[in-house]
A and B are shown apart, each in its own frame.
Chain A
Amino acid sequence: MSKTVLIIGGGVAGLEASGVLSKLGYTITIVEASDRIGGKLNRWANLFPTQRPAEEVLNYLKFQLDPNTSIITNTKIDDISLGKTQVSATLSNGNCIQADAVLVSTGFEFFDARKKEEYGYKIYENVITSVDLEQIFKDGKELKTSQGKTPKRIGIIHCVGSRDEKVGNTYCSKVCCVTGVKQAIEIKERIPSCEVFNFYMDLRMFDRHFEDIYKKAQVEHHVQFIRGRLSEAFENPDGSVMIKVEDTLLGKPMKMNLDLVVLMVGFVPSSSSVFLKKGLQLETGNDGFFTPADEHYKTVCSNQKGVFFAGACTGPKTIENTITEARAAALEIATYLNQN
């Protein structure tokens, strides 16, 4: 009988690792808390930096899954513990699972923008998040203000819930900068006459093609980038939002009215990580993300034998990095299982 791997989380990392491990001859069980596999990809219309449909990557991940993979959705893990060579988990559906190795691929959650109360999310009608905007794109809906008007001026606010000690997240979420640029372009493609402003602290265009789309946003779409972090927002009687920000490159305070404000929400660790940390005795950093055995050369290994990581459970990550890491984790798991 082939050895078994329990994969916790059926998002990008879990699905990719599952496909590779199946090809290597292992029996896989994926436990997914939500009602479907695919994770956050299900909620995204197009991916940076090329604006390809998210569905293409989702279809690839589903296609490469082995038909014999046991996928248990709508299920959480109630109890998990490490034995000498096996991990045992009790699921919320009452079943028990024994596995020879476990992959933690629990990913991340979006920062709850209500915690930045001064930005008015869920208080002001025309303040939405990057996730809400992506959902509008995904549903193919027209972008309107809550008053049903076509917005003439939209502000995109970077670093919401990232690099912010007050909300407890000191880290950079890595992908929101480029998402902000991507969404700015997508707004301009839909409503060319709309003025779009990105308010940023730094633009971290670290990866291939990122700098290109930043330039495209400025040169082709005339998106304006203003260096300054939004300090406060007020709702006008007509529903538009007055914002105050410093134009730090001019050294002057500035105010302007926006018809729609889009908050670029960052990553926070999955809520399940607290429970898994306790059950599997794993290590996390001050930021709540799991700490791998070594942050340079053992990024997919944990401090526990037989427990592995892939994807954003060890920190904010792009999809391509997650997929690469999932394959690395699969190989690491296979090596481990061969030795034991």
Chain B
Amino acid sequence: MPDFGYKIAKDRQIDYDENKRLIFSEVAAWEPSIYRCISCGTCAATCSAGQYTDYSLRKLILLVKRGEEQEVITNVSKCLLCGKCQLACPMGVNTRNLILGIQNAVKKTTYAV
């Protein structure tokens, strides 16, 4: 088969019906303060990891809620667990425990790499 240099682009659309949201159900039970998040981005602005990588806790929480689990897996390890976000969060989300919960859930789910 000759290589014409074409490939099929991966669908980057969030398919909410197909996504399983296994990590979310684990995490919501582990750290219910995830429901308090208003996606303001204060956490991401203060984040040391976010200064040098494309890591954002605001986005990570949304990825968890939408069930974009592959992206959750690639992103959650970028966190240094320093806890600055927890000091900055205006809604009192227990961010550090939330991230630990996401890391644990990732290990438990079949998605783990």
Residues of A near any B CB (own CB < 8 A) = 215, 218-219, 222, 224-225, 227, 247, 249-250, 252-257
> Could you list 25 A-B pairs, sorted by A, with CB under 8 Å?
A215-B91, A218-B38, A219-B32, A219-B35, A222-B35, A225-B38, A225-B39, A227-B39, A247-B62, A247-B66, A249-B59, A249-B62, A250-B59, A250-B62, A250-B63, A250-B68, A252-B14, A252-B68, A254-B13, A255-B13, A255-B15, A255-B17, A256-B15, A257-B16, A257-B17
Residues in A whose Cβ lies below 8 Å from that of B35: 218-219, 222
Q: Are A253 and B66 in contact (CB under 8 A)?
A: no
Q: Are B36 and A255 in contact (CB under 8 A)?
A: no
Which 5 pairs show the lowest CB-CB distances between chains A and B? A256-B16, A254-B14, A253-B13, A219-B35, A218-B35
A222–B32 alpha-carbon span in the complex (Å): 10
A115 to chain B, nearest CB (A): 27
Q: Are B62 and A255 in contact (CB under 8 A)?
A: no
Residues of B near any A CB (own CB < 8 A) = 12-17, 32, 35-39, 58-59, 62-63, 65-66, 68, 91
A253 and B14 in contact, given A215-B36, A218-B35, A224-B65 (Cβ under 8 angstroms):
yes
Q: Are B14 and A247 in contact (CB under 8 A)?
A: yes
Determine chain B's interface SS by DSSP, over half rule.
Answer: mixed
The tally of CB-CB contacts under 8 A between chains A and B is 49
A222–B24 alpha-carbon span in the complex (Å): 12
Residue from B12, B14, B65 with most neighbouring chain A CB atoms (10 Å): B14
Contact with A252, one of B13, B17, B32 (Cβ below 8 angstroms): B13
Contact with A250, one of B15, B32, B66, B91 (Cβ below 8 angstroms): B66
A224–B67 alpha-carbon span in the complex (Å): 13
Q: Are B39 and A255 in contact (CB under 8 A)?
A: no
A249 and B39 in contact, given A224-B65, A254-B66 (Cβ under 8 angstroms):
yes
Closest to A250 in B: B62
B80 to chain A, nearest CB (A): 22
Q: Are B12 and A252 in contact (CB under 8 A)?
A: yes
Closest to A244 in B: B13
Residues in B whose Cβ lies below 8 Å from that of A225: 38-39
Q: Are A249 and B58 in contact (CB under 8 A)?
A: yes
A219 and B36 in contact, given A249-B59, A254-B66 (Cβ under 8 angstroms):
yes
Residues in A whose Cβ lies below 8 Å from that of B39: 225, 227, 249
A184–B36 alpha-carbon span in the complex (Å): 16
Residues in B whose Cβ lies below 8 Å from that of A222: 35
B43 to chain A, nearest CB (A): 13
Residues in B whose Cβ lies below 8 Å from that of A219: 32, 35-36
A253–B11 alpha-carbon span in the complex (Å): 10
B71 to chain A, nearest CB (A): 9
